[in-house]
Chain A
Amino acid sequence: METVVRMGEASASNTPGDVLACIGLGSCIGLALVDRSKGVAALAHVMLPEAPKPDPPQPHKFADLAVPALLDLVLAHGGSRLRLEAALVGGAAMFQFGGSGQDIGQRNAHAVARHLETLRIPVRATEVGGSKGRTVRVAVGADLAITVREAGGTEEQLLGGVAAGRAVFV
């Protein structure tokens, strides 16, 4: 079953065959935390770098809260803390609006990477920046795989299953 993770939401699964997807990312980040040895994955659709006030209704909207919240979620689905790997997709700059919102995509990507580093979760793959929208899909199970498709492009593998040679993307 494919679960579409919409803006500000997150989802996790340990059911083989499930797919988690962020469709049509622009300046937002699709953040995946995966444990490939157990076939567990969680995906968040992060919109902004920082929560303006504590305890917002949707923590996954904000990079600073989304990273720890997604960690809890993937652990609750059976992920092993020491085997977690992260992948980041999105953060494009499609328009120039000027002002403080300038390159919100880049700020999102930096914020997510910084919070992952704080929690010592290694980033195994990134596909961020540029000016094109992207879709990310995480296929859950023994052959856990993360794929990215850029607007108008074809589906590319970003992170493969255990058997698919993990060293390539390190």
Chain B
Amino acid sequence: MNTLTDMQLDALRELANIGSGNAGTALGSMLGKSVDISVPTAALLPLPDAVAIAGGPDEMRFGVVVPIVGDMDAIVVLLFPEDDARKLCGIYGIDPHTPDGTSMLGEVGNILGTNYINVLAQMAGMRLDPAPPQVVEDMLGSILSSVLIGRGEEIEEALVLDSKLQVEEEQCSLSFLLLPDHGGIKELLGRLGL
């Protein structure tokens, strides 16, 4: 796979829009705060550019990784700068560097990932299940490169669906990436009749 048409990218962006909208609403009701979602971007990027999409490669981030399995393999990645992770955990009086903090961030990943994926599954008529989230604190480049080549496939490009969520009052924002694998993109577009 080398290219996606504009129409296919538009369709994927729209899916991301609906998915992240749903995910944001779910997070908002968990936190009891309103959550704003930016218009997502959808881009097919060479691997080094995909890794650079969320900031400099040595910037530290909390990363929550939710593998998706089923009719399409994909990975959901949430990225929080440390300050933002601190604010989010702070709503519950938790420090992000503790086991409770890790568990809290994992739960946020679970809720966002599940609600995002459910919309995709419904629209495309697919069965998709999230696996348990994994939480790390590391360099952005290390997190994304490991995720993108984690399955050991030889890939040149990655489809990145990128949304930004902002928790109001807390001024806390996070990046939300959906990274389908190559077979997954085809499957998804096929199901949508594109």
Contacts and interface: CB of A to CB of B under 8 A. Distances in A.
B169 interface: no
B141 interface: yes
Given A99-B151, A104-B152, A24 B47 contact: no
B139 A47 contact: no
A100 B154 CA distance: 13
A54 interface: no
Interface string B44-71: 0001100100001110100001010000
Q: Give the size range of A's interface with the partner.
A: 35 or more
B151 A23 contact: no
Given A25-B142, A27-B150, A104-B149, A8 B47 contact: yes
Interface in B130-165: 134, 136-143, 145-147, 149-154
B78 to A, nearest CB: 14
A3 to B, nearest CB: 14
A7 interface: yes
B47 A7 contact: yes
Contacts of A48: 149, 152, 154
A132 B134 CA distance: 14
A94 B136 contact: yes
Contacts of A28: 145-146, 149
Contacts of B51: 6-7, 24
A7 B145 CA distance: 8
A159 to B, nearest CB: 21
A76 interface: no
B140 A24 contact: yes
Given A52-B154, A95-B147, A24 B48 contact: no
B152 to A, nearest CB: 4
Q: What is the predominant secondary structure among interface residues of chain A facing chain B?
A: loop
Contacts of B145: 7, 24-28, 47
B57 A24 contact: yes
A36 interface: no
A52 B153 CA distance: 9
Given A28-B145, A94-B136, A95-B146, A23 B47 contact: no
Interface of B: 47-48, 51, 56-58, 60, 65, 67, 134, 136-143, 145-147, 149-154
Given A151-B139, A152-B60, A152-B137, 5 more contacts: A6-B51, A51-B154, A94-B142, A94-B146, A95-B136
Interface of A: 4, 6-9, 23-28, 47-48, 51-52, 56, 61, 92, 94-97, 99-101, 104-105, 107, 131-135, 151-152
Q: Which 4 pairs, one residue from A and one from B, show the smallest C-beta to C-beta distance?
A: A24-B141, A133-B142, A26-B146, A24-B57
25 contacts: A7-B51, A7-B145, A23-B58, A23-B139, A24-B57, A24-B142, A24-B145, A25-B141, A26-B138, A26-B141, A47-B47, A48-B154, A56-B154, A94-B136, A95-B146, A96-B134, A101-B153, A104-B149, A104-B150, A104-B152, A131-B136, A133-B139, A133-B143, A133-B146, A134-B142
